[in-house]
Amino acid sequence: MLKKLCPKLQANSILELDLDELIDSGIKGVIFDLDNTLVEWKKDTLSQEVIDLISRFKDKGFKLCILSNALEHRVEAVAQVLNIPYVSRAIKPRKSPFRKALEIMGTGPEETAVIGDQLFTDILGGNRMELYTIWTPPLSSTELLSTRAVRQIERLVIKRFRKKGFLK
């Protein structure tokens, strides 16, 4: 169980991702979480840096999809600005929404990465599907009370992974 929470890669920010390295790892499709990954929690404003990053992904030929547990109108608004497909109300870490995203992108699990800020939804779900899981710390510290409780557990889990050398 614990192993399934361990991301394959950790980046300090999505802006630090090395796209060529992803290509070298055989990644052709990338699934993005929405809240606290692409935008701050419950905010719909994309930073110019993120907009530019998504353009760079597109220029390199990546297939992209947003996968979020949030309601459709919020996910759709961001997806429209970025002009990429989305799956909303995803109930991550369930497998079915991840399958749907793969289907939309037309990529297999072994050539797909998922990028998100939550171990118990994005990373666990991605690992269950055997995707290339990338964990990025949350963009803002504002979130649901229930999420904040989960964060404390996350911190313990991350600490343990670091101690065991699974993560840098």
CB closer to Mg ion, 33 vs 154: 33
Q: Is 147 in the site for Mg ion (CB under 5 A)?
A: no
Sheet holding 112-116, edge to edge: 9-10, 132-135, 112-116, 29-32, 63-67, 86-87
Q: Which of 121, 3, 8 is nearest to 70 (CA)?
A: 121
Which one of residues 17, 22, 32, 33 is an interface residue with Mg ion (CB under 5 A)?
33
State in angstroms the smallest separation of the CB of 78 from Mg ion: 12
What is the rounded distance in angstroms from the CA atom of residue 118 to the CA atom of residue 37?
9
Q: Is 35 in the site for Mg ion (CB under 5 A)?
A: yes
Q: Is 69 in the site for Mg ion (CB under 5 A)?
A: no
Which one of residues 29, 115, 117, 119 is an interface residue with Mg ion (CB under 5 A)?
117
What is the rounded distance in angstroms from the CA atom of residue 41 to the CA atom of residue 100?
24
CB 167 within 8 A of CB 7: yes
CB closer to Mg ion, 42 vs 163: 42
State in angstroms the smallest separation of the CB of 18 from Mg ion: 22
Q: Which 3 state secondary structure label does DSSP give 30?
A: strand
Q: Is 88 in the site for Mg ion (CB under 5 A)?
A: no
Q: Is 143 in the site for Mg ion (CB under 5 A)?
A: no
CB closer to Mg ion, 67 vs 163: 67
